[in-house]
Amino acid sequence: MMGGIRAFLARRHRKIVQVLSAALFNANVGGFLSGTIYRGELKKICVPGLNCYSCPGAVGSCPLGSLQASFNSFPKAVPMYVLGTLLVFGALFGRAICAFLCPFGLIQELLHKIPSRKIKKGVWTRRLTGIKYVVLAVFVLALPVYFLIRNGVVTPAFCKWLCPAGTLEGGFPLLIANENLRAAAGWLFSWKALVTVSVVALSVFMFRPFCRFLCPLGAIYSLFNRFALVGVRVDEEKCIHCGRCTRPCGMDVREVNDRECLRCGDCIPRCPTHAIRWKWPTKKEEKIDEKTARGAAGAPDPVPRRAGCANCPGADRRRGAGL
């Protein structure tokens, strides 16, 4: 089974996984027609990616919305279910969830395919990636607890004021299908619509801007990247630090598997020495089919490590990433 999955991913079928997971997480198609939200038993289960509870098609709950709502029982009870779910998802996949199982990430990638002049990454974009940790600390953790202490009930600050996925996947479809909701929409929805339109427009010119700069769920999963069980790994003995893995990457990565790496595997066929491979939680190390990887991207045969390569251009991964 692992061999089949490995071969599937080596052929770069990530988009298929993204589309199938988005369809699965939003399988309540009738909700889009009726303008209503599914509230069945499955809504007690958190999906791994950013997929709004209020989306008419959603059959599960967003982990960020569930985490904020669970603070209503704090400090009498700790939200162990939501925290445990995030821990399991993070320990298994890290930010590979962002690459394969996040519907809003898929939407941004499709928008980026629209022909236009693209904004390239640089030192300034790398610095902006820290904003998502501030969003996590302030809007997901601090403000909900603050409003709980002040008002006796949690205000889900991130979902209420910032989340563009909720507006795009939930707000817009519900208002289109439900006339009563359109009449009730006020300034808050106008603000959320402005945030959403801004993210959507920026996604055309910049690769996954929300994921890179604002997403608190990505910030959580990034903390697990170094030791998550499923993802990619680098064989340091084969690596020549040429930068072919990081330079073409749309994310602000300095090296494979750092906190900005989505562990998508797109760098595997680009590596000239085949030093990058899929990592699986098995006793025996799983190696990619190198012939398949080379065929997928036209990569040359492995090149030998050169003596004195530490002094060659791109020896430092950070320089290789152009940062």
The arithmetic mean of pLDDT across residues 135-140, rounded, is 97
Backbone φ/ψ region at 117: left (φ over 0), alpha (ψ -120 to 50), beta? beta
The amino acid present at 84, given as its one-letter code, is: G
User: Considering only CA atoms, which of 290, 278, 293 is closest in space to residue 2?
Assistant: 278
Q: Write down the H helix ranges in 172-274.
A: 172-177, 179-184, 187-205, 209-213, 216-222
pLDDT at 90 over 80: yes
- Look at residue 7 in the predicted model and tell me its pLDDT: 53
The Cα–Cα gap between 268 and 275 comes to 8
- What are the pLDDT digits (tens) for 112-133? 999 999 999 999 999 999 999 9
pLDDT at 177 over 90: no
User: Considering only CA atoms, which of 186, 252, 184, 179 is closest in space to residue 213?
Assistant: 252
What confidence category does residue 6 fall into, taking pLDDT thresholds of 50, 70 and 90?
low
For the beta carbon of residue 180, count every other beta carbon within 10 angstroms: 8
- Look at residue 243 in the predicted model and tell me its pLDDT: 93
Q: Which of 11-20, 77-86, 256-265, 282-291 has the lowest mean pLDDT?
A: 282-291
Positive or negative, the Cα torsion across 30, 32, 34, 35? positive
Mean pLDDT score across all residues of the chain: 85
What confidence category does residue 3 fall into, taking pLDDT thresholds of 50, 70 and 90?
low
Work out the percent of the chain whose per-residue pLDDT is above 90.
68
- What are the pLDDT digits (tens) for 272-311? 999 999 988 765 544 444 444 444 445 454 444 444 444 4
- Look at residue 165 in the predicted model and tell me its pLDDT: 94
The amino acid present at 295, given as its one-letter code, is: G
The arithmetic mean of pLDDT across residues 26-36, rounded, is 90
